[in-house]
Structures are given as structure tokens and as C-alpha cells.
């Protein structure tokens, strides 16, 4: 079974400050990890993914995430937050094993960037 | 390049009724996955269709069923609606049945009363 935990329901950060949105995961095999963002009344938009290789993954809109296998974490980061980053962020995992194509999402973290 | 289009955007149904939700996949994508997003929760995988056949299913009862058509568009059907079926239903198309390259639609908000 695969699962994702996003321990914070909400994260508040001042504009211009660095932001971190936390994610931990559990899979039986090797993980494929994803971050998606959801704006009100919209579907999910892909930000970045980790498949293999460099533990630091860079994605869209200046976001990056660090894969830590020993801590089973994949935290989303951005050096300088923008008000327009305010949205709902979802971490997702997929087991790399054959036939395990479905994504399992966390409950989401609401990011509020305060001007 | 068109994105993923879902219809309708909103609908209200009565408990016990049946509903059909529709999804047009992005050009070049042959796989459609459906997810249910309850209020305050993350999306949960319902099933996936690849080349007109269901090739994966999450923990949802048989009253959730689907179809995929030759043009790769898809329908999600839910019979005997329950109050807990109230949710945002998201369709995602992808170029292959791998979980990569999802393009999500904006969703259909279903309210069961």
C-alpha cells in the first residue's frame, strides 16, 4: 500500500520569505513523487516530480523539492514566496512497481502568502 | 493543443438517482483517469481507462463505472447516488497509463441531496 502525509493543514508565510510545505510518504518499493497545486474552482496543475537521480528537483514557478529517502520525505520549497503562490498544494506518490500506476494524494496544505 | 474539458461543471442530484459525468481528453492522450475529491480531502483514484478498457481501479464500489470511447473521451457513471458521493470529480488524461504527464480538467462538482 502507498500513502502520503501532509502534516500541516495550513502554512502562512510573509511575501518574500522562503516557504516550505512538508510531505512524507510510504511505499513498498521505490517512490515516484509529485507536487500539484490547485487554485479555487480549478483542477490540479503539475509542479514537479521526482523519479530518480538528483535529490533536488526543480519545477515550475520557481518551486523545488528535496527527496530524502532516509526520512521518506519530499518537502516543497521556494526561496521567496509570492502572494500569487497562495493556493492548495498536494503531494502525491506512486510506487514504481509494475502495474502501480495510480497516484495517492495527501490531504493537501493550504498556503497563504501574506503581503 | 486543447486541454481536458469536463462537463457539466456543477450538478445537483437526489439520493438514489444516477449521474453521468463526461471528460474530453487532451489531444494526443490515450489514457483517462478519474479521481474523487471530497471536501477538505485529496483526490482519490477511482479508475483508469486505456484504449477503451478499464485497467486499474481504486477502492470504489461497482456502482461507480465508466467508459472510454474511440476518441479517448470518457464517462463516469454513478448509480444509486449516496450523500457521501458529493464531491469534486476530476478527470485527468495522460499520454500513457503510467501516472505521468497528467493533465487535469477543472472538475465536476456533484452535490447529492
Q: Please give the average per-residue pLDDT across A47-65, as a whole number.
A: 95
* Cell 512538508 -> residue: A22
Band the pLDDT of A98: cuts 50, 70, 90: low
* Interacting residues of B34 by C-beta distance below 8 A, sequence separation 6+: B23, B45, B46, B47, B48, B66, B74, B76, B89, B90, B91, B92
Residues of A in contact with B107 (CB under 8 A): 42-43
Give CA–CA dist A39/A29, Å, rounded: 32
Span A15-34, pLDDT tens digits: 999 999 999 999 988 999 99
Instruction: Look at residue B41 and tell me whether its pLDDT is greater than 90.
Output: yes
Q: What is the mean pLDDT of chain B?
A: 94
Q: Which three cell numbers stand for residue B81?
A: 447516488
Q: Please give the average per-residue pLDDT across B47-74, as a whole number.
A: 95
Q: Which percentage of chain A shows pLDDT scores above 90?
A: 83
Residues of A in contact with B56 (CB under 8 A): 99, 101-102
Chosen from A21, A103, A108 to mutate, greatest number of chain B CBs within 10 A:
A103
Amino acid at each position: 500500500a502507498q500513502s502520503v502525509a501532509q502534516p500541516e493543514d495550513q502554512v502562512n508565510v510573509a511575501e518574500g520569505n522562503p516557504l516550505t510545505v512538508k510531505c512524507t510518504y510510504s511505499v513498498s518499493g521505490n517512490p515516484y513523487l509529485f507536487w500539484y497545486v490547485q487554485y479555487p474552482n480549478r483542477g490540479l496543475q503539475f509542479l514537479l516530480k521526482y523519479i530518480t537521480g538528483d535529490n533536488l528537483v526543480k519545477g515550475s514557478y520557481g518551486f523545488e523539492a528535496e527527496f530524502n529517502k532516509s526520512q521518506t520525505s519530499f518537502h516543497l520549497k521556494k526561496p521567496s514566496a509570492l502572494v500569487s503562490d497562495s493556493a492548495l498544494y498536494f503531494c502525491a506518490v506512486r510506487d514504481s512497481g509494475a502495474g502501480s500506476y495510480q497516484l495517492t494524494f495527501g490531504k493537501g496544505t493550504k498556503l497563504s502568502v501574506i503581503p | 493543443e486543447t486541454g481536458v474539458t469536463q462537463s457539466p461543471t456543477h450538478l445537483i442530484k437526489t439520493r438514489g438517482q444516477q449521474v453521468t459525468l463526461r471528460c474530453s481528453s487532451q489531444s494526443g492522450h490515450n489514457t483517462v483517469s478519474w479521481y474523487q475529491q471530497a471536501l477538505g480531502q485529496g483526490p482519490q483514484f477511482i479508475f483508469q481507462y486505456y484504449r477503451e478498457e478499464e485497467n486499474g481501479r481504486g477502492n470504489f464500489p461497482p456502482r461507480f463505472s465508466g467508459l472510454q470511447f474511440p476518441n479517448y473521451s470518457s464517462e463516469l457513471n454513478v448509480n444509486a447516488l449516496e450523500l457521501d458521493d458529493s464531491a469534486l470529480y476530476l478527470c485527468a488524461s495522460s499520454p500513457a497509463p503510467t501516472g505521468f504527464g497528467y493533465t487535469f480538467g477543472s472538475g465536476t462538482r456533484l452535490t447529492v441531496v
